[in-house]
Amino acid sequence: MSRTIRVVVVSGSLRNPSRTHGLLQALVERLQARLAIEVHWIRVADIAGGLAGSLERDTASPALLPHLQAIENAELIIAGSPVYRASYTGLFKHLFDLVDYQALKGVPVLLAATGGGERHALVIDHQLRPLFAFFQAHTLPYGLYATTEAFTDHQLTDPAQFERIERALEPVLAFFHHAADRAA
């Protein structure tokens, strides 16, 4: 496959640095080794002020518009959030509240989350999948979840997590190779 794929990575953490960003960074690095991608990063921690003050799309902060347009024009979304009280962060959800509800139909979405313990891993299936189902996006079958033990200074270091990343990327690669075969 020779064309470049537009990827938007949304890190829902309210902190900088964050383990969520570390997980997403490791994922993107592995994806870049396998596909030609153009990455647009959205770190909720960096846009929190403009995001919190934007109640509707029509009155959204001008600084948010490029991020919203990037999401709406993405060919792949990688979305991750830390777990707060069994769900994603409020500002992560608010960002997607401002996205055109028809823009993500059929767009593949790779889900990721970080949390303090294994009991929070269900956030992927019980919170993130339903959010993207509303948009009629194509959530990919493998989500990535990592606990605090998988990191050293916000960098992913657990070898088992790198294996999970490789497994999670298989459907991504299949999705784009199949689309390229159909186009040819």
pLDDT at 62: 93
Which token pair is 40? 């647009």
pLDDT at 178: 76
- The CATH architecture of the domain made up of 5-183 is 3-Layer(aba) Sandwich (3.40)
pLDDT at 183: 66
pLDDT at 58: 92
Confidence of residue 184 (pLDDT cuts 50, 70, 90): low
pLDDT at 181: 64
Pairwise CA distance, residues 60 & 63, whole Å = 8
The values of phi and psi at residue 41, to 5°, are: -90, 135
Q: What is the DSSP string of 62-101?
A: TTTHHHHHHHHT-SEEEEEEE-BTTB--HHHHHHHHTS-T
**Average pLDDT value for the chain:** 94
Question: Taking the domains of the chain in order of start, what are their residue ranges?
Answer: 5-183
Confidence of residue 130 (pLDDT cuts 50, 70, 90): very high
pLDDT at 1 over 60: no
Which token pair is 32? 């870049």
Pairwise CA distance, residues 110 & 122, whole Å = 15
Closest CA to 14 of 46, 36, 54: 46
- How confident is the model over 15-35, as a mean pLDDT? 97
